[in-house]
């Protein structure tokens, strides 16, 4: 009797597709839906893990857009402290799709946030990107001016990009209840005051996230009709949950929801691809070897594994490989990855301080 599984390739079977490659994965875990050419203008955004993707792609010689570059005199370390050079613009971590939607609509003049200027001691910060000015700004109208400049840059970014790589990070978010404005962190974490804010917790559902992405895509296509998307899901577990669930249960629900949305979008839309970084790090084949002892931070070898698959699938080479076309990079990939991990900018880590 014929079986529908009879002539399937090895990648379709757990033993041949997974077990033999553990703790790594076979290259064919990912088949790119469309190629990334070096000439493409690539924009990156998303949660902490997205920082790795931009960093690696830069090293391949890909044109990772940066519409808000740091001053030339500024060292990399200080630049990162001010949110320069982490993503394609200084929007900080965009954990939820709703945040991305807000940003796209705001830079198109279709959305006005509310209660977004927070205090930080005597200073003021942009609550929609609270990490980018660690010392804060002197006056609220200065925050407004900085945001206007940022929005103009973001609109320019989306109009120039051929590809947006977006890493979905969280389903949980804090929302200004009367207006619906979503923030990347709760007031009181990096600035602002939770007690006096009108923020409420919200855990986005599959349908909400799906609809948000469809709306985001539509808004972006209005700016740039040829833009394409690669979605990933961050394998980094939640630092804390505001639900009633155990943090592990909340993490799995969050990741499963995001993964399901990404899969659905990729299956339905020709211009949306899904890259399985989540599976590569979080899957049972990894046996936890890609996590640091805190079982949360992704180790350099995990990032290297993920990016090796990504680059190979797109015909790109890391600078460590012998590619005459690639720009010279003196620092070994693993070293860079480790150094990068050490400096990863992630507000979620701050939550740990509140857990003590």
Partner 1 sequence: MTPILMLGNSHVACARLAWPGMRGDHSGIDLTVFGAPMRAMGELVLDGSTLRAGTPQSSSLLRRVSGDNHIDLSRFEIVAVVGMELSLAAAVRLFSAYRPWSAGAAGGGHLISEGAFHDALVDAAAASDALRLCGKIRHVYAGPLFVMPQPNPLEGLLASTEGKANAIGVGRWSSAARSWGPNLYAAFRAACRDACAAHGATFVAQPDDTLADGFFTRDEYRYHDPATKEDYAHMNISYGERLCRLAAEFAADRPAALTYG
CB of 112 or CB of 138, closer to partner 1: 138
* Cis amide bond preceding 242, omega within 30: no
Contacts of 142 (CB under 8 A, 6+ apart): 124
Q: Which residues contact 236 (CB under 8 A, 6 or more apart)?
A: 47, 48, 49, 169, 296, 297, 298, 346, 348
Among 25, 48, 137, 190, binds partner 1 (CB under 8 A): 137
Q: Which of 3, 7, 39, 75 binds partner 1 (CB under 8 A)?
A: 75
**Alpha helices, H only, the chain:** 14-17, 50-59, 76-81, 97-107, 140-160, 206-223, 247-268, 277-282, 300-313, 333-343, 348-354
Alpha-carbon separation of residue 300 from 339, 340, 345 (angstroms):
9, 8, 15
144 near partner 1, rule: CB under 8 A = no
Instruction: Tell whether residue 188 is a contact of partner 1 (CB under 8 A).
Output: no
Q: Pick the stretch among 129-137, 226-234, 253-261, 276-284 that binds partner 1 (CB under 8 A).
A: 129-137
**Does residue 82 interact with partner 1 by CB under 8 A?**
yes
- Token pair for residue 1? 């009797």
Indicate whether 245 belongs to the interface with partner 1 (CB under 8 A). no
Among 52, 59, 80, 81, binds partner 1 (CB under 8 A): 81
Task: Closer to partner 1 by CB, 114 or 138: give it.
Answer: 138
Q: Is 23 in the site for partner 1 (CB under 8 A)?
A: no
Q: Taking the complex as a whole, how short is the minimal distance between the CB of residue 79 and partner 1, in angstroms?
A: 9
Q: Please state, in angstroms and as integers, the Cα–Cα distance from residue 252 to each residue in 56, 65, 249, following that order.
A: 27, 33, 5
Chosen residue from 74, 256, 326, 351 binding partner 1 by CB under 8 A: 74
Residue 156 touching partner 1 (CB under 8 A): no
Q: Should residue 152 be labelled a site residue for partner 1 when binding is judged by CB under 8 A?
A: no
Binding range to partner 1, per CB under 8 A, among 15-23, 69-77, 172-180, 294-302: 69-77
Phi, psi of 132 (to 5 degrees): -85, -15
| Contact status: 133 vs partner 1 (CB under 8 A) | yes
Q: Does 142 bind partner 1 (CB under 8 A)?
A: yes
Among 12, 19, 22, 135, binds partner 1 (CB under 8 A): 135
Q: What is the DSSP string of 192-222?
A: S-TTTS-EEEEE--HHHHHHHHHHHHHHHHH
Binding site for partner 1 (CB under 8 A): 68, 70-75, 78, 81-82, 133-139, 142, 145-146, 149
């Amino acid at each position: 009797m014929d079986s529908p599984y009879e002539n399937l390739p090895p990648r379709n079977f757990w033993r041949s597709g997974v077990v033999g490659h553990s703790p790594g994965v076979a290259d064919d875990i990912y088949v790119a839906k469309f190629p990334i050419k070096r000439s493409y203008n690539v924009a990156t955004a998303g949660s902490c893990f997205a920082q790795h993707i931009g960093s690696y792609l830069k090293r391949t010689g890909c044109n990772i857009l940066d519409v808000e570059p740091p001053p030339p005199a500024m060292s990399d370390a200080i630049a990162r402290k001010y949110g320069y050079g982490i993503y394609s613009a200084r929007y900080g971590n965009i954990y939820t799709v709703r945040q991305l939607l807000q940003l796209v609509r705001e830079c198109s003049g279709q959305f006005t946030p509310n209660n977004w200027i927070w205090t930080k001691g005597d200073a003021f910060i942009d609550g929609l990107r609270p990490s980018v000015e660690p010392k804060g700004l002197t006056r609220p109208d200065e925050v407004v001016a900085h945001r206007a400049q940022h929005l103009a840059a973001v609109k320019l970014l989306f109009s120039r990009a051929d590809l947006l790589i977006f890493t979905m990070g969280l389903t949980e978010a804090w929302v200004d209840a009367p207006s619906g404005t979503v923030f990347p962190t709760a007031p009181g974490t990096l600035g602002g005051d939770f007690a006096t804010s009108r923020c409420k917790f919200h855990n986005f559902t599959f349908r909400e996230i799906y609809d948000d992405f469809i709306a985001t895509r539509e808004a972006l296509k209005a700016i740039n009709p040829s833009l394409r998307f690669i979605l990933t899901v961050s394998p980094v577990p939640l630092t804390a949950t505001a639900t009633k669930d155990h943090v592990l249960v909340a993490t799995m629900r969050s990741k499963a929801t995001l993964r399901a949305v990404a899969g659905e979008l990729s299956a339905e839309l020709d211009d949306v691809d899904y890259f399985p970084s989540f599976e590569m790090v979080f899957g049972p084949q990894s046996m936890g070897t890609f996590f640091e002892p805190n079982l949360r931070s992704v180790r350099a070898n995990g990032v290297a594994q993920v990016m090796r698959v990504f680059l190979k699938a797109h015909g790109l080479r890391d600078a460590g490989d012998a590619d005459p076309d690639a720009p010279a990079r003196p620092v070994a990939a693993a070293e860079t990855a480790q150094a990068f991990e050490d400096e990863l900018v992630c507000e979620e880590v701050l939550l740990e301080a509140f857990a003590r």
